[in-house]
Amino acid sequence: MRDEKHNESPETSDGNEDEARRISAQILSIFDLATSRGTGEDGKEIAVYATISDAEADRIQKNTGFDLHDWFHCITEDGIRHTLDEHGDPVKERKRGQIAVTRADFANIHYVIKNADKITHDGKTRQGLDAIKYEKRINGYMVVVEEKRGKEKKRLAFTSMRILRRPPKK
């Protein structure tokens, strides 16, 4: 149960609720697949769920310097598992001053990305890829991280999410 209430309803900023529902359903489909597979099973499914619009690419470029026109958002089983392993335990997250991530939070990933209060370059991932961090006040402060994968495939892949009780440090 959440300590904080939604301060906004998760819809797309352009009001396209059918598209928002389609994207959420696609993300949750990969979530269900990732959480149903046993350890050691082939878990490399990738869902490309949205094209980055010109307006979105312009906003990301303004905040990070990355030109992502004609790129796509995607989510992988690995990103989902990482998030649940690192940020899904309520006891561990409470000790960190955070809120555990649940299945329902994954449905808000694209909303957070499209409607972020703040977008920043978040350095490099362990794989040496550039990371982009999106922050949005919803159920606390949701933080979503994507990494740039390949110039040929042009994908921004979800890598992690966490929910802070308080605003992120400046």
Tell me which residue has tokens 């982009």.
Answer: 132
pLDDT tens, 141-155? 999 999 999 878 899
- pTM, to two decimals: 0.86
pLDDT tens, 12-35? 445 588 999 999 999 999 999 999
- Percent of the chain with pLDDT strictly greater than 90: 72
DSSP for 41-89?
A: S----EEEEEEPPHHHHHHHHHHH----TT-EEEEEHHHHHHHHHHH--
| Band (42; pLDDT cuts 50, 70, 90) | low
pLDDT of residue 2: 39
Phi, psi for residue 138 in degrees, rounded to 5:
-165, 125
Alpha helices, DSSP H, located in the chain: 17-36, 54-64, 77-87, 90-96, 103-106, 109-114
